Structure 1
Amino acid sequence: MSDIIVTESLQVALWQAAKAAQVQAYAPYSRFLVGAAVLDEHGRIHAGCNVENAAYPQGTCAEAGALSAMILAGSRRAKAVMVLGEGSGLVTPCGGCRQKLREFASPDTLIFIASPQEVRTWFTLQQLLPESFGPEHLTT
């Protein structure tokens, strides 16, 4: 199932997983709850939420949590990602998470950006992290 097509039903499943993860976020300092979900190469969905820490910047982003859950489950490729947050602005992955996604996703991987009400837009990883450095740069 390596060539997964992200259908509307998969988008909905990713959105639902990210929304459920957002509710579990631990953000007592910023009160900015984020959920994320990653679709792996086997068609499975892995979710994560942001976890803050009083010792900034020791917290963990939702995308990093979802990637960790994916790795723990034995997967190595992110085929699509959903990031869900509140507010009028788009909640896109931070720079560090863009690079973390680059480790496990290809430049054409779809990154969906959502609110708790809807999927708002999408980008490819290439659009979010152009001319990126990835694992292939370290091969000889």
Structure 2
Amino acid sequence: LIPKLGKPEGRPDSYRPLCLLSTVGKLFEQLLVGRLQEELEKTNALSDNQFGFRPGRSTVDAVDMVIKLVRRAVGGGRQYREIPAVVLLDVKNAFNSASWQKILQRLKAIGVSPYLRRMIQAYLGERTLDLGNGMRRQ
């Protein structure tokens, strides 16, 4: 565990885990990501408004889209002018808080193949955190 700067030492949330993945694990993860992206793009399961984790799209594209929407909203004639609002969310510890079961249910709902869902489930299942003092956490 790596201590976070400026955080009290006695609290569990004052530390970041150091995750060591094997080279084989990293390669397998990249294969899963590639196959999942292929299936999601092929079935049009992702919104056109999603820019993160998509090939050929970036945060610059997302910001550009927001700017265009705001300009269009405020640029109409006085009678048709709209008031734009932007909501940005930063979910604390989002990745570690996500329910793998709900993610797998959603993958099924959007039509990801059973084979790929089983591979993802096997990869994510039974992960543990070894605290180095004889304690383990799943």
Band the TM-score falls in, shorter-chain normalisation: under 0.3
Which structure has the highest helix share of the two? 2
Which structure has the highest strand share of the two? 1
Structure with max Cα Rg: 2
TM-score, normalised to structure 2's length? 0.21
TM-score, normalised to structure 1's length? 0.21
